[in-house]
Amino acid sequence: MKKIIESINYYHKIIIAVLIGMSFPLIYLFVYYTGGIKYVYSHTMYIPILLAGIVFGFKYGVICGLIAGVLLGPLMPLVVETNEPQVFFNWFYRMIMFVLIGGLSGYFFDKYKKTLKKNEKLYLHHPDTKVPNINFLMEYSDTYIDGKVLIASIIINNKNRISEVLGTDIYIKVINVIYHFLDDELPKESIVVQADSEKLWVLFKLRNMDEDGEKITKILSHDLDIEGIKLFIDFSIGISESINFKACKTLIPFRDSDRLAGYAKENNLPYVIFDKELLHKKYEFNLLGSFSNALKNNETFLTYQPIIDSNTGSVVAVEALIRWLNPDHGLIMPNDFIPLVESTKLIHSMTNWVIRNAVRKQIELKENGLDIFVSINLSSKNLHNPLFYKKVVEIIAEENGNPNKLIFEVTETVLLKEDKYSKKTIEKFKEAGFRMAIDDFGKGYSSLTYLNLYEIDYLKIDRHFMSKIINSPSVLQIVEATVNLAHQFNLKVVAEGVEDQETYDKILGLGVDYIQGFLIAKPIKQDKVLDWCTKFNNKNNKSKS
Ligand code: C2E
Ligand code: MG
Ligand code: MG
């Protein structure tokens, strides 16, 4: 495109030169056939003179002024009809005026063009280093590079050190040398610009990210000798891609390469290439951003999974399990968003929301003749929060709930940490009548040493054991030993994730107290849970009698 603009510029000058050249004899004939210089038409000559000055500058303005002066001077009669000549002073004065017009217009336009060029240079280049800047990138046409574009952000990590120790002038030279290395050695259509004082951006047609990364690193590893000083440049490169060159001009794709260069710097790596993991992190980041409104917008809801008593076969509890129906991504399961939410303060409002809704459900079930437990999952972050207990008590009071029918599930990692706040909070919950359960037992550290430190009511054996209990005698042994030990500590045992009858029978034989799993029911929508549990219990009672 630049070439097209240049060629248009070139041809447009030729066209104007031809027009000016033709206009002289034409205007001469025009003045002649309208009766001679006596009449007003000679003023038409100012047009080609001015044009020559504007387009071709001072020199050509003066020359054209002279030619016009002669054509309309001694060569043109005052009155054609009588062939009366002009007096010398008359045509000479006119010629001086023509030369002045041509010369002055040329002079001022030359000056104007020079200033314009200077400003353009300033606009397109970094003020200190004179290396092309971001505006320079914008000057290219949207299709300058076709197809996918590789973009690399190069950060000069030791910029401050170089400037401080050797001076800013040396640093400016460093940038220039690096710029020229890149510009000379990268593929022909590459663009190299200085994005800020310590950052360069490189763009060229994407071929192979790994090879291109190596190539840039190799170029930057050249020995730098500036004014006899051997310099070590500590750089970090972030490499990313853009779907096309047009997108690069929005500068958005550089966010990734910049971030990666920062990551490379933090981790002392020469370069880091954009990968799917980063893309996933970005997705997670967006997701987390939209979670802040999810609770307010009623995008979250609870499902309830029944837990049955292995002796009576009736539903004794339901576990509240959160779901998020995201308008953009559809249904999101807790394992895909809770770890993200847990990394922020949002986990507190989320848990408060779960508790409030679970308490309401417990009351609703009770009012419909089903006074069962509702089990709620807590995050370790909740227990570390010194204000958590007070908030829970407040919610229960507001909702008129019954702590004696609520179970809080925590994972064993919380207990293993022996955190002061967590321990205190658990103790206070116990005093207030809440039940406590250890969730996913066996998934992590698997130690029962903390059991005498806390007053725990239930131990929930992780579902991964259930899937192996039939085929693995050692798993069976572990589960059996765990059940026995838990009973010795007066804990009731819940088997999580029971999916088939065979496992159910086996686990019953081990003396497990409660069963939860897909065999009984998958998590049930909040408006269906009462109906499901009532029917299940009725059927169970009937089969017993
Ligand atoms: P969890 O507390 O251990 O909950 C049990 C999980 O196992 C649930 O997954 C449940 O659907 C699944 N499950 C139950 N029975 C079976 C089975 O027979 N087979 C299989 N394959 N899976 C079964 P879900 O609902 O996806 O929840 C996953 C985890 O997310 C929960 O594990 C819990 O740690 C967390 N979570 C869920 N809701 C909340 C919440 O409100 N707050 C917090 N802090 N965590 C929650
Ligand atoms: Mg749980
Ligand atoms: Mg569990």
Q: What is the pLDDT of residue 444?
A: 66
Domain end call among 84, 100, 124: 124
Q: Which of 142-151, 314-323, 408-417 has the lowest mean pLDDT?
A: 408-417
What tokens appear for 335 in the block?
Answer: 């394992």
Give the Å distance between the CA of 68 and the centre of ligand 3. Answer: 98
132: DSSP letter: B
Structure confidence at residue 2 (pLDDT)? 46
228-240 residue pLDDT tens: 888 888 889 999 9
pLDDT over threshold 80, residue 448: no
Whether 138 has a pLDDT exceeding 80, the answer reads yes
At residue 446 the predicted structure's pLDDT band, cuts being 50, 70 and 90, is low
Is 34:41 a contact under the CB 8 Å cutoff? yes
- Same structural domain, 238 and 342: no
Residues paired with 242 in a beta bridge: 149
Structure tokens that stand for 400 in this block: 């008129």
Minimum CA distance residue for ligand 1 atom 30 = 334
Q: Flag whether 288 is in a domain.
A: no
Cα 353 to Cα 324, 349, 388: the distances in Å are 13, 6, 13
7 pLDDT above the threshold of 70: no
Q: How confident is the model at residue 424 (pLDDT cuts 50, 70, 90)?
A: confident
Q: Ligand 1 pocket check: which of 295, 301, 303, 321 to mutate, most ligand atoms within 8 Å of Cβ?
A: 321
Ligand 1 site-directed mutation target among 361, 377, 514, 516, most atoms within 8 Å of CB: 377
Do residue 424 and residue 534 come from a single domain? yes
Q: How many domains does the chain have?
A: 3
* Domain stop point among 74, 98, 124: 124
Q: Is 92 exposed, middle or buried (0-12, 13-18, 19+ CB in 10 A)?
A: middle
Task: Indicate if 359 and 481 belong to the same structural domain.
Answer: yes
Whose tokens are 């954009």? That residue is 274
CA-CA distance, 252 to 29, in Å (whole number)? 62
**What average pLDDT is seen over the chain?**
90
Q: Which residues contact 181 (CB under 8 A, 6 or more apart)?
A: 219, 220, 222
* Nearest CA among 122, 121, 73, 128 for reference residue 96: 73
350 Cα–ligand 1 center, Å = 16
Examine residue 475 and state whether it is found in any structural domain, yes or no: yes
Q: Cα separation of 364 and 362, whole Å?
A: 5
pLDDT at res. 386: 85
DSSP one-letter string for 479-528:
HHHHHHHHHHTT-EEEE----SHHHHHHHHHTT--EEESTTT---EETTT
Angstrom CA distances, 115 to 2, 59, 373, stand at: 21, 19, 82
Any residues with Cβ below 6 Å from ligand 1, and which?
Answer: 305, 320-322, 333-335, 338, 354, 377-379, 409, 439-440, 463, 496-499, 516-518, 523
Q: Is residue 318 a contact partner of residue 528, using CB atoms and an 8 Å limit?
A: no
426 and 527 co-located in one domain:
yes
State whether 470 and 395 are in the same domain: yes
Q: Do 482 and 430 reside in the same domain of the chain?
A: yes
Within a domain: residue 280?
no
> Which pLDDT band, with edges at 50, 70 and 90, does 268 fall under?
confident
Counting ligands in written order, the one closest to the CA of 523 is: 1
Domain for residue 10, yes or no?
Answer: yes
For the CA of 354, the nearest atom of ligand 1: 41
Q: What is the pLDDT of residues 464-497, one digit of tens each?
A: 999 899 999 999 999 999 999 999 989 999 999 9
pLDDT band at 1 (very low <50, low <70, confident <90, very high): very low
d(CA 222, CA 236): 15
Query: Which amino acid would we find at residue 199?
Result: K
544 pLDDT above the threshold of 90: no
**Whether residue 530 has pLDDT greater than 80:** yes
pLDDT in tens, 349-364: 999 999 999 999 999 9
What pLDDT is attached to residue 258? 92
Contact 265, 208 (CB under 8 A): no
Residue 177 sits in a domain whose CATH number is 3.30.70.270
Same domain, 148 and 13: no
Output the pLDDT for position 445. Answer: 62
Task: With respect to residue 225, please indicate whether it lies within any of the assigned structural domains.
Answer: yes
For residue range 389-398, list pLDDT tens digits in order. 999 999 999 9
Q: What is the pLDDT of residue 328?
A: 79
Phi first, then psi: what are they for 302, rounded to 5°?
Answer: -105, 145
Structure tokens at 222: 């050249």
- pLDDT for the residue 481: 92
Which residue lies with its CA nearest to atom 43 of ligand 1?
377
Q: Ligand 1: distance of its center to the CA of 357 in Å?
A: 17
Which atom number of ligand 1 is nearest to the Cα of residue 382? 44
Give the model's confidence band at 285: pLDDT under 50 very low, under 70 low, under 90 confident, else very high: low
Type of residue at 351:
T
User: Ligand 2 centroid to 376 CA: how many Å?
Assistant: 7
CA 208/CA 428 separation, integer angstroms: 60
In a domain, 285, yes or no: no
- 119 CB burial (10 A radius; 0-12, 13-18, 19+): exposed
Shared domain for 174 and 116, answered yes or no, is no
For residue 120, the CA-to-ligand 3 centroid distance in Å is: 66
Q: Hunting for tokens 């496992």 — which residue is that?
A: 503
Q: 53 is in which domain, residue-wise?
A: 2-124
Q: pTM of the prediction?
A: 0.60
Q: Considering only CA atoms, which residue is closest to atom 12 of ligand 1?
A: 497
As beta bridge partners, residue 324 has 300, 332
Tokens of 527: 């408006």
Mean pLDDT of 186-213: 92
Separation of CA 305 and ligand 2 centre (Å): 10
Residue-wise burial string across 480-497, b where 16 or more C-beta atoms lie within 10 A, e elsewhere: bebbeebeeeebbbbbbb
Last residue of a domain, one of 91, 124, 157: 124
Question: Using the 8-state DSSP alphabet, how is residue 457 labeled?
Answer: -
Q: Is the pLDDT of residue 10 over 80?
A: no
Task: Retrieve residue 341's tokens.
Answer: 């939410």
C-alpha 321 – ligand 1 centre gap (Å): 6
Confidence of residue 193 (pLDDT cuts 50, 70, 90): very high
Identify which of 259, 143, 122, 135 has the alpha carbon closest to the alpha carbon of residue 194. Answer: 135
- Do residues 66 and 140 share a domain? no
Looking at the domain assignment, is residue 283 inside a domain?
no
- 305 pLDDT above the threshold of 90: yes
Q: Of all protein residues, whose CA lies closest to atom 20 belonging to ligand 1?
A: 497
**Residues at Cβ < 5 Å from ligand 2 ion:** 377, 409, 439
d(Cα 264, Cα 30) in Å, to the nearest integer?
Answer: 75
* Beta bridge partner(s), residue 493: 459
Task: Determine which residue's CA is closest to atom 3 belonging to ligand 1.
Answer: 440
Nearest Cα neighbor of 44 from 101, 106, 86 is 101
Place of tokens 């510009």: 183
Beta-bridged to residue 525, according to DSSP, are: 303
Q: What is the CA radius of gyration of the chain?
A: 42
Sheet with strand 271-273: strands edge to edge: 191-196, 199-205, 149-156, 235-242, 271-273
- 284 lies in some domain: no
Q: How far apart are CA 310 and CA 35, in angstroms?
A: 123
Instruction: Give the residue from 392, 408, 277, 414 showing the smallest Cα distance to 342.
Output: 414
* Ligand whose nearest atom lies closest to the CA of 517: 1
Q: Find, among 139, 135, 248, the residue nearest to 202 by Cα.
A: 248
Ligand 1 atom index nearest CA of 499: 18
Give the residue whose CA is nearest to atom 13 of ligand 1.
Answer: 497
Task: Compute φ and ψ for 253, nearest 5 degrees.
Answer: -60, -20
Is residue 112 domain-shared with residue 138, that is, in the same domain? Answer: no
Nearest to 356 by CA among 435, 302, 426: 302
Q: Which of 144, 134, 137 is nearest to 4 (CA)?
A: 144
Q: Which of 128-137, 183-192, 272-281, 367-376 has the highest mean pLDDT?
A: 367-376
**Sign of torsion over alpha carbons 90, 96, 100, 101:** positive
Q: Are 274 and 260 in contact (CB under 8 A)?
A: yes
Specify the ligand 1 atom closest to the Cα of 519: 18
pLDDT for the residue numbered 378: 96
Which regions of 268-346 does DSSP assign to beta strands (E)? 271-273, 300-309, 315-326, 330-332
pLDDT tens digits, one per residue of 23-77: 999 999 999 999 999 888 989 999 999 999 999 999 999 999 999 999 999 999 9
Q: What is the per-residue pLDDT for 281?
A: 65
Residues 395 and 419 in one domain: yes
56 lies in the same domain as 105: yes
Distance CA 383, CA 376 (A): 13
**CATH code at position 388:** 3.20.20.450
